[in-house]
A and B are shown apart, each in its own frame.
Chain A
Amino acid sequence: MPKRSFILIITLFIAAQAHAFCGFYVAKGDTKIFNRASQVVIVRDQDRTVMTMANDFQGSARDFAVVIPVPTKIERGQIHVAEKALIDHLDAYSSPRLVEYFDPDPCTPVPPPAPMRNAVSEAITVTGSAPAMRAKSLGVTIEAKYTVGEYDILILSAKQSSGLETWLTENGYKLPNGAAYVLGSYIRQNMHFFVAKVNLGEQARLGFNYLRPLQVAYESPKFMLPIRLGTVNANGAQELFVYAITTRGSVETTNYKTVKLPSDVDVPLFVRNDFSPFYKALFTEQVKREDMSAVFLEYAWNMSWCDPCASEPLSQDELRKLGVFWLEAGSNVFLTRLHVRYDREHFPEDLVFQETGDERQFQARYVLHHPAKTGQCEAAIAYRRELHQRQEREAENVAELTGWNVEEMRRKMHLDTASVTPAEKKWWEKIW
């Protein structure tokens, strides 16, 4: 085997295409809005939890409103608005990655390593508030009404889902069919709700042309993520990325299987330009293999470092803004990135998590090897033979991972001939 020197790391990010919160959209008017994906950061130690929910909602901000269930009663001050850059950075840091190696020339071996890293953007948080109260009606109590950043927040407590449904409808929110049923079961479980909608005036004043993530802090033994509301008005399967930040080790689901994605696999060079479609196909294929009933681990790492770094680890300031409240105590900050594609049929119940003591690092990592330009030395012949075998394996790997046709892969790799690599001589042929 020729030695390969590590020269350059490329990181191509799978844009976590987020379109929605884990709650459901309540569209005002008749605009059809589908929620497709979401990104949620759950920062948790003991029972203290800070949840940050991001989306890349594409419709008009006027139509945006979301109902978010929370396990405990919340007060104003527990809801906050974060910078989207925080989640973008977390996404970049933990994304599935492609790494690249260059084979040394077998005739004249060369050594130099030099990793390339990405820059990091800083984040700022802006909040504001404007209190308002309303009378009780329909068993729905508006605990608080105020403005945080560009959002108008209503903290509700309800005794009956029918009351809540009526109240939301009367106030111009359009509920998807079946939402009241789910809301009802959450009310029975003592869940509480808040409604967030965009305050267009505030949004214009603050100058944001996108919706920033909402944050909520609460203390509850429930380590879970309500996904049932999200499946109510979903058109097909949805994507969800959960970034769990804890102190001890990786996080897994207790009511669904958590599966590590295939990692450290050699793939052909064309994946460099097609990493997005490659990873999407890979993920789809793995979802299919698990009968769409599993949650996938994409990354698990102590946030003090990374190797290779898809992006620098988050700064202390960024972590604090995400809600990591134990930094002063000097405890670990361990990140677990879970990715799940779900629908109502395969994921009937909300995701329930547990933190394990598992500190092993894991990353979804795929490897490219650039062949060397070889001379005509003796070693080059052996190298070319091995290279051909390796490329054949890479074609098979990518076909196996993605479900793509292996012949198609070979064509893309120009692995057309056996002539490039004469078959290895049999041992007896070498004698005479």
Chain B
Amino acid sequence: MKRFDPRLYQIGALTVLLLYGIFVLHFDVTLFRAVLLVGTAIATQALCSRIRNVAFDPRSAAISGLSLSLLLRSESIALLLAAAVIAVGSKFSVRIKNKHIFNPTNGAIVAMMLMSHRVWVSPGQWGNIAFFGFLITCIGGLVVNRAARSDVTYAFIIFWSALVIGRSLYVGEPLTIPFHRLESGALLLFTFFMISDPKTTPDSRAGRILFAALVAFGGWYINYRLFRTNGILWSLAGAAILVPIIDALLPAARYRWRAETVSAAPQPHQLATAA
């Protein structure tokens, strides 16, 4: 029997989170803006597909639009829409060996933050409600299992926790401090929905674990040595640049979404399917 596309789970999960964020946590985003973002992302996908002459598939674009609605904040609708265009456009334009480099959402957020002071990410918007952490973990867990790249997520959680807890132990802070940091909704969202993207992580398991370690260390360094915010977002973008090198050193079969057809993704490697 044909299995359900993991991206549909992800779209469902992100939609639930977004609605929860808008109506319960009062995120600084309106439903109208979210719809506009998702619409722009899908429209960009349609346009790029036509230019590249590949089959149109709105699913990844919808995920990018939803993720941007969850993460990126700005007063300016134009800047948000620009982020959606960059997110989807980068999949088609920033590629090495027929693989796109940046996780679309992450790449767009970092690019926008580099270009403008008028956009920002609010890592505190989720609060630290345990129930919510639990919920997001469960939903996220479902997605990564389906996407068959849970190894990168688990590796990242282990490295990140070790660094955050290790630092607190080193400086003599009570454990309530690192636990408070780990309870963050923004961290869980990143771990389960962004770093797990099978299209932009290294192809081999060893490579993915190395990648998770690099992202964790980079993010930790930015947050706790340079004292800047959103370390993991910057770090993921930085580590993504190294993925072609990791793939060259540790080669393996390329991941493909189960629903992808040969004509939609003319890639030499065959699939590592959802387990």
Which residue numbers of A lie inside 8 Å of B, CB to CB? 181, 184-185, 188-189, 220-224, 248, 252-260, 290-291, 293-294, 348-349, 352, 354, 356-360
A-B interface, 5 closest residue pairs, ranked by CB to CB distance from nearest: A257-B127, A188-B171, A357-B118, A348-B176, A221-B227
Chain A nearest CB from B27 CB (Å) reads 10
- A255 lies within 8 A of B180 (CB): yes
The CA-CA distance from A356 to B121 in the complex, in Å, is 8
- A184 lies within 8 A of B172 (CB): yes
With a cutoff of 8 Å between Cβ atoms, the chain A residues found around residue B170 in the complex are 188
The interface residues of chain A, by DSSP majority, are classed as loop
Enumerate 19 A-B pairs (CB-CB under 8 Å) in ascending A order: A188-B170, A223-B227, A252-B124, A254-B122, A254-B229, A255-B123, A256-B128, A257-B124, A257-B125, A258-B125, A291-B129, A293-B128, A294-B127, A348-B174, A348-B177, A349-B173, A349-B180, A354-B229, A357-B120
Given contacts A221-B226, A257-B126, A293-B127, contact A357 B119 (CB under 8 A): yes
- B176 lies within 8 A of A357 (CB): no
With a cutoff of 8 Å between Cβ atoms, the chain B residues found around residue A294 in the complex are 127
With a cutoff of 8 Å between Cβ atoms, the chain B residues found around residue A348 in the complex are 174, 176-177, 179-180
- B129 lies within 8 A of A359 (CB): no
With a cutoff of 8 Å between Cβ atoms, the chain B residues found around residue A256 in the complex are 124, 127-128
The interface residues of chain B, by DSSP majority, are classed as loop
- B123 lies within 8 A of A254 (CB): yes
Query: B33 on the interface (CB 8 Å rule)?
Result: no
Residues facing A in B205-232 (CB within 8 A) are 226-229
Which residue numbers of B lie inside 8 Å of A, CB to CB? 25-26, 28, 73-75, 116-120, 122-129, 170-174, 176-177, 179-181, 184, 226-229
- B181 lies within 8 A of A255 (CB): yes
With a cutoff of 8 Å between Cβ atoms, the chain A residues found around residue B173 in the complex are 185, 349
Chain A nearest CB from B104 CB (Å) reads 22
With a cutoff of 8 Å between Cβ atoms, the chain B residues found around residue A253 in the complex are 124
Chain A nearest CB from B15 CB (Å) reads 22
- B176 lies within 8 A of A188 (CB): no
Closest to B175 in A: A348
- A252 lies within 8 A of B117 (CB): no
- The listed residue (B74, B227, B228) touching A357 by CB distance below 8 A is B74
- A360 lies within 8 A of B128 (CB): no
Given contacts A185-B171, A248-B117, A291-B129, contact A254 B124 (CB under 8 A): yes
Chain A nearest CB from B186 CB (Å) reads 9
Given contacts A188-B171, A348-B180, contact A358 B120 (CB under 8 A): yes
20 extra A-B contacts, CB within 8 A, seeds A349-B173, A349-B181, A357-B74? A184-B172, A185-B171, A185-B172, A189-B171, A220-B227, A223-B227, A253-B124, A254-B124, A255-B181, A256-B124, A256-B127, A259-B26, A290-B127, A357-B116, A357-B117, A357-B118, A358-B73, A358-B75, A358-B120, A359-B75
